[in-house]
A = this chain, B = another copy of it.
């Protein structure tokens, strides 16, 4: 086993603090990765504080991992030492169910091994995430990252990136369409970049007027301050797709009514309390509401290649891993533009 420095939560109330974990020696098909950067996803905080239930401690969060290959197992063909790679929200899945077979491992019907707060395929060995110095992952679940992408800014692509890219592709966002993005945070700011790169006319809905300038810089054509909006009539029936990234409670019907006939609202954020859904918001215009969960390995690679081609990365604030607890507090307050990325190079080995 490989002794590995990490930052862990020991229980839902504890701050994250240095902790030592063991990584497996790379097997024939494994890649051992030196972790350089790891993004701070809001779900890291929810899980470290056991706000979603089923948290398992000690917990090493982090599923927006980028780094360099240290060494590879004897049968690994796709990776070589020194290459830039990424690891996202999961490090394995059953590989046999229809979803895995179709490359939609995120919907694995048997057991998906999330990158942390979960178990390997043996359903016993705990998984530990990217707030650590290194990680061993089967090559099938490792992503290639183009040298064109600056690594720190690429880290959030592994979760925030693919979580927004996947539904935009799945629901066929295309040139000339009107796309709304609700919330301009870690997910929302990536959605704006992707939808704009796909040729859509993007409108940002936000409660923070201070983000108006940013919204335009990121590629949005329009900005709606929903706190001060007086007349929503001109927005009714205007959008082909609305991606809702907000996980605070809000009125979903307000946005559904902005969809054209047959338009789709996609949820990627999940408030703790259920939405109050008025059936006529859907019925009146044959509208749809859908959910989408991260993305599969094939699509994550496609997204990373798209980003390299289109020069898309996340907007990040890089902080040393030692500042993770401060980053958590600021993330909760929404005081981040738009993603914290932990620098793991200072953790030691």
Chain A residues close to B by CB (< 8 Å): 99, 104, 107, 109, 170, 237, 252-253, 261, 264, 267-271, 274-293
Name A271's contact: one of B271, B279, B290 (CB within 8 Å).
B279
Contact, CB under 8 Å: A283 / B268:
yes
Nearest B-chain residue to A104, judged by Cβ: B261
Additional pairs, 8, CB under 8 Å, beyond known A274-B277, A288-B288? A107-B261, A107-B284, A275-B279, A279-B291, A280-B291, A283-B291, A283-B292, A286-B293
Residues of B within 8 A of A276 (CB): 274-277
Contact residue among B252, B253, B287 (Cβ-Cβ distance under 8 Å from A290): B287
The answer on a CB contact under 8 Å between B261 and A283 is no
Can you offer 24 A-B residue contacts whose CB atoms are under 8 A? A107-B261, A107-B284, A107-B286, A253-B274, A264-B288, A267-B283, A274-B276, A276-B276, A276-B277, A277-B277, A277-B289, A279-B291, A282-B289, A282-B290, A282-B291, A283-B292, A284-B291, A285-B293, A286-B291, A286-B292, A287-B291, A288-B289, A288-B290, A289-B290
**CA distance in complex: A237, B98 (Å):** 12
Name the residue of chain B whose CB is nearest to the CB of A247: B279
- With known contacts A109-B237, A290-B286, A293-B286, A270–B274 Cβ distance under 8 A: no
CB distance from A77 to the nearest CB of B (A): 30
CA distance A268 to B253 in the complex (A): 17
Q: Which residues of B contact A280 (CB under 8 A)?
A: 270, 291
Q: A283 — which chain B residues lie within 8 A by C-beta?
A: 267-268, 270, 291-293
In the complex where A290-B286, A290-B288, A291-B283 touch, is A274 in contact with B267 (Cβ < 8 A)?
no
Give Cα A143–Cα B286 distance, bound, in whole angstroms.
23
Most B CB contacts (10 A, CB to CB) among A170, A268, A274 go to: A274
Residues of B contacting A269 in the complex (Cβ-Cβ under 8 angstroms): 279
Please determine whether B279 and A277 come into contact, CB atoms closer than 8 angstroms: no
Which B residues touch A290, using CB under 8 A?
282, 286-289
CA distance A237 to B99 in the complex (A): 12
**What is the CA–CA distance of A100 and B104 in the complex, to the nearest angstrom?**
39
Query: Considering the chains assembled together, what is the distance between the CA atoms of A283 and B267 in angstroms?
Result: 7
Bound-state Cα–Cα, A264 to B288, Å: 9
Contacts of A282 in B (CB 8 A): 267, 289-291
- Select one of B109, B271, B278 contacting A274, CB under 8 A: B278
Residues in B whose Cβ lies below 8 Å from that of A261: 99, 104, 107
Distance (whole angstroms) from the CB of A202 to the closest CB of chain B: 22
Chain B hits for A287, CB < 8 A: 290-291
Closest B residue, CB atoms, query A268: B283
Contact residues in B for A270 (Cβ distance below 8 Å): 279-280, 283
Question: Which one of B170, B277, B285, B291 lies within 8 Å of A275 (CB-CB)?
Answer: B277
With A261-B107, A276-B274 known as contacts, the answer to whether A293 contacts B284 (CB < 8 A) is yes
Q: Given contacts A274-B277, A279-B267, A280-B291, are A286 and B170 in contact (CB under 8 A)?
A: yes
Complex contacts, A278 vs chain B, CB 8 Å: 274
Nearest-neighbour CB distance to chain B for A201, whole angstroms, equals 18
